[in-house]
């Protein structure tokens, strides 16, 4: 018996270090319906569950702020008579650390607008908090006994200072209007709690900013008027956030990524702060929440297969990011979540493959609960990201450069005329703006002919021209120092393009998607892949054409055509095997869509 006991103890000691090595991050979730917080780790193991204390007649808030170390949480209870109580609860010892009763009835509090971890000081001993009515606001710093360390107030401003970062003796705030409405940018300020002075800054012009606290870098989407502004095309849905800006310590914010055709909803540091994840919504289409990954220099890294997905929270971790969303939203990506009726936390590693990577479900709440992600922290001590990697999008000038500046070649193109891609220009990128950092709309082939609709612009060492073939438009460089990529074309006019009523617009799967076997199977049984497209007015029938392609030669062979009156069709990919495929949709008696390619992989 003693030998068995010794062996059992030995096995325990062997197992614990192995488990510790597999845990790379911790996270907290929060359910505003019942105040429950759950701590989990990267293996999906639930480490702890606590119910936040409340008072009879008070309700839990939607937002809570977990301190940087994950050991305490700040939240505001709302009374049915309009009273507010700001509370800090210790998540380790399960005790209330302090409570502060707002002295004004009917006030708003800062956590309603944003609740970042960084409202706490780095050691968690103090916290920044604000409350306001239309008549006045108060910004204060409290210690963990509820004592006011410092405070400042203003009258008749109709706004509230929302703390975003408690950095030493400086509290950075966004000045948020209490009235509803759309704002292209907000004013920001920094409050020195030592001198009790409030000064305007340009660090946080939006509550949608994301902070890398180790380096002091801040990123956020914003309308930048030096690039194309399509706010008028958004039909009252706000301003066109056409750029991602970065604010570095002791420098003026600048754009490092531009998208003139879509709206950038949000930007997040991911993968140890080395990459940025964007949520993007189409202005000209129905797609929202597309997840794009870019590098710090603005270079496009890849598109994740998520689209039209409402995500509660995104937080970067050392080798990727995690997010939470309702299982009803996620079940089309993870069939095992069907019927769960809860919230799930998904982990997406991004250090290797991006295209087709949906990650894995780490945690699923109990049916009927909404355990939203609110905090996460790496357990691995990683090096700081490269703070010198940022590259501003080229500032465009409509004037030719001076003679002592080396700029690529350009033919004498004219607006209203036409341009032809030279043989040397085969594969020339057509970009969303005149910059090498702007995303590519498409690639042009040698001898392609396009209308010149804008330019010239000089940026990044090139002369740029805005071109259109009637379907797509964008900016292309005229050439480099040794080769001409665009030349004047004086032939006949371009044929009229197809209109949107001539052919169906394809929606899913996307061009370049990688479909994996586990995504289209469940319990060993194949699940069909749904092909979808937009309806064409007066169309009676569609044909889904399906071809298998040789990845080496690029040749494609028709294998099936599916007829349907609907705008979707399900195909069992296992019937055709792994490989490269392409598909398009033809309207019976009408036009055809473009071809889209995808791979089916094991």
pLDDT of residue 20: 42
Reported as a pLDDT band with limits 50, 70 and 90, residue 3 is very low
Domain limits of the chain? 26-32+211-380, 56-207, 394-497, 506-601
pLDDT digits (tens, 9 = 90+) for 337-347: 999 999 999 99
Tell me the average pLDDT across 214-225: 95
- According to the model, what pLDDT value does residue 501 have? 47
Distance separating alpha carbons of residues 247 and 209, to the nearest angstrom: 10
Rounded CA separation 413/488 (Å): 6
Q: What is the structure's pLDDT at 164?
A: 98
Segment of 226-235, 349-358, 377-386, 528-537 carrying the highest mean pLDDT: 377-386
Cα–Cα dist 184/205, whole Å: 9
Q: Is residue 384 predicted with pLDDT exceeding 50?
A: yes
Average pLDDT over residues 112-135: 96
- Compute the average pLDDT of residues 397-406: 46
Rounded distance between C-alpha atoms, residue 274 and residue 320, angstroms: 10
The confidence score (pLDDT) of residue 284 equals: 79
What integer is the mean pLDDT of 343-362? Answer: 92
The confidence band for 2, taking pLDDT boundaries of 50, 70 and 90, is: very low
CATH class held by domain 506-601: mainly beta
Cα 305–Cα 308–Cα 314 angle in degrees, nearest 5: 75
CA separation, residue 488 to residues 147, 398, 431, 562 (Å): 74, 20, 20, 44
Tokens at 409, concatenated: 């070649």
Q: Residue 231: helix, strand or coil by DSSP?
A: helix
d(CA 365, CA 372): 9
CA distance 57 to 55: 6
- What local confidence, expressed as pLDDT, does residue 469 receive? 83
172 pLDDT higher than 70 = yes
> Is the separation of the CB atoms in 486 and 429 below 8 Å?
no
Per DSSP, 369 falls in state -
**Per the structure block, which two tokens stand in for 549?**
């392609």
Nearest to 301 by CA among 259, 353, 241: 353
> Token pair of 431, please?
């970009």
What CA–CA distance (Å, rounded) separates 44 from 66? 20
Residues in the chain: 602
Give the sign of the dihedral formed by CA 359, CA 373, CA 175, CA 309: positive
| 505 pLDDT higher than 60 | yes
Q: What are phi and psi of 596, to 5 degrees?
A: -125, 140
Determine the Cα–Cα distance for residues 55 and 85; give it in Å rounded to an integer.
10
Residue 6 CB neighbour total at 10 angstroms: 10
Q: What is the pLDDT of residue 527?
A: 82
| Separation CA 448–CA 425 (nearest Å) | 10
Cα–Cα distance measured from residue 445 to residue 438, given in angstroms and rounded to the nearest whole number: 19
pLDDT digits (tens, 9 = 90+) for 420-439: 888 888 889 999 888 888 88
Does residue 4 have a pLDDT over 60? no
CA 258 to chain centre: 14
The rounded distance, in Å, linking the Cα atoms of 486 and 489 is 9
pLDDT at residue 15, as a whole number: 33
Which segment of 68-82, 87-101, 366-380, 465-479 scores lowest on mean pLDDT? 465-479
pLDDT the model gives residue 589: 64
CATH class of 394-497: mainly beta
CATH number of the domain located at residue range(s) 56-207 in this protein: 2.130.10.10
Mean pLDDT rounded to a whole number for the chain: 86
pLDDT at 17 exceeding the cut of 60:
no
CA distance 320 to 270: 6
Cβ within 8 Å of residue 478, ≥6 positions away? 408, 409, 410, 411, 413, 456, 462, 463, 464, 465, 484, 485, 486
Residues 474-501: b if buried by 16+ CB within 10 A, e if exposed: bbbbbbeeeeebbbebeeeeeeeeeeee
List pLDDT tens digits, range 557-600: 777 777 778 888 888 888 888 889 988 888 876 677 888 888 98
Q: What is the pLDDT of residue 9?
A: 37
Give the integer Cα–Cα distance in Å for 598 and 304: 13
- 309-341-376 Cα angle (round to 5): 60
First-to-final CA distance of the chain? 49
The model's pLDDT over 50-73, given as tens digits with 9 standing for 90+, comes to: 999 999 999 999 999 999 999 999
Percentage of residues of the chain with pLDDT beyond 70 = 90
- Between the alpha carbon of residue 346 and those of residues 29, 110, 153, 353, the distances in Å are 12, 28, 42, 16
Q: Looking at the predicted structure, is the pLDDT value of residue 177 above 60?
A: yes
Cβ burial 256-295 (10 Å sphere, 16+ → b, else e): bbbbbbbbbbbbbbbbbbbbbbbbbbebeeeebbbbbbbb
By DSSP bridging, strand 596-601 and strand 513-516 are parallel
pLDDT of residue 13: 34
Q: What is the mean pLDDT of residues 9-19?
A: 36
Q: What is the pLDDT of residue 151?
A: 98
- Which one is predicted more confidently, 404 or 553? 553
In percent, the amount of the chain with pLDDT more than 90 equals 50
């Amino acid at each position: 018996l003693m030998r068995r006991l010794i062996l059992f103890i030995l096995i325990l000691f062997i197992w614990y270090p192995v488990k510790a090595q597999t845990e790379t991050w911790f996270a907290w979730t929060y359910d505003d319906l019942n105040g429950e917080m759950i701590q989990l780790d990267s293996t999906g193991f639930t480490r702890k569950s606590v119910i936040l204390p409340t008072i009879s007649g008070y309700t839990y808030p939607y937002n809570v702020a977990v301190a940087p170390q994950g050991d305490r949480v700040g939240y505001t209870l709302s009374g049915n008579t309009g009273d507010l109580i700001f509370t800090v609860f210790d998540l380790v010892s399960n005790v209330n650390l302090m409570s502060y009763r707002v002295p004004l009835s009917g006030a708003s509090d800062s956590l309603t607008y944003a609740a970042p971890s960084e409202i706490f000081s780095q050691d968690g001993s103090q916290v920044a908090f604000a409350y306001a009515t239309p008549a006045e606001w108060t910004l204060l710093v409290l210690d963990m006994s509820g004592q006011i360390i410092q405070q400042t107030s203003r009258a008749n401003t109709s706004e509230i200072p929302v703390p975003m970062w408690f950095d030493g003796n400086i509290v950075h705030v966004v000045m948020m209007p209490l009235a509803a409405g759309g704002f292209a940018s907000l004013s920001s300020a920094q409050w020195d709690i030592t001198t009790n002075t409030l000064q305007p800054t340009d660090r946080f012009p939006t509550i949608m900013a994301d902070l890398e606290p180790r380096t002091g870098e801040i990123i956020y989407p914003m309308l930048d008027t030096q690039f194309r502004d399509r706010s008028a095309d958004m039909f009252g849905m706000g301003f066109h956030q056409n750029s991602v800006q970065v604010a570095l310590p002791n420098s003026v914010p600048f754009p490092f990524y531009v998208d003139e055709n879509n709206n950038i909803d949000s930007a997040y540091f991911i993968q140890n702060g080395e990459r940025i994840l964007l949520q993007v919504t189409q202005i000209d289409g129905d797609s929202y929440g597309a997840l794009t990954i870019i590098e710090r220099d603005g270079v496009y890294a890849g598109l994740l297969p998520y689209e039209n997905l409402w995500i509660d929270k995104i937080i970067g971790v050392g080798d990727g990011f995690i997010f939470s969303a309702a299982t009803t939203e996620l079940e089309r990506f993870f069939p095992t979540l069907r019927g769960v009726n809860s919230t799930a936390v998904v982990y997406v590693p991004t250090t290797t493959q991006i295209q087709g990577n949906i990650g894995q479900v780490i945690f699923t709440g109990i049916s009927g609960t909404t355990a939203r992600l609110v905090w996460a922290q790496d357990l691995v001590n990683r090096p700081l990201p490269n703070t010198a990697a940022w590259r501003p999008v080229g500032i465009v000038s409509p004037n030719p450069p001076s003679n002592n500046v080396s700029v690529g070649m350009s033919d004498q193109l004219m607006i209203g005329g036409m341009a032809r891609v030279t043989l040397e220009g085969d594969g020339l990128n057509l970009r969303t703006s005149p910059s090498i950092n702007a995303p590519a709309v498409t690639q042009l082939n040698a001898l392609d002919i396009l209308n010149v609709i804008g330019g010239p612009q000089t940026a990044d060492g090139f002369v740029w021209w805005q071109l259109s073939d009637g379907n797509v438009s964008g900016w292309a460089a005229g050439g480099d120092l040794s080769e001409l990529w665009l030349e004047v074309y004086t032939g006949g006019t371009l044929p009229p393009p197809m209109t949107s009523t001539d052919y169906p617009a394809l929606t899913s799967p996307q061009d370049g998607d990688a479909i994996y076997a586990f995504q289209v199977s469940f319990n060993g049984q194949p699940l069909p892949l749904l092909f979808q497209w937009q309806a064409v007015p007066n169309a009676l029938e569609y044909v889904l054409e399906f071809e298998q392609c040789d990845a080496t030669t690029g040749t494609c062979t028709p294998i099936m055509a599916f007829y349907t009156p609907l705008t979707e069709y399900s195909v069992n990919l296992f019937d055709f095997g792994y490989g490269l495929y392409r598909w398009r949709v033809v309207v019976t008696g009408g036009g055809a869509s473009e071809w889209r390619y995808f791979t089916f992989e094991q």
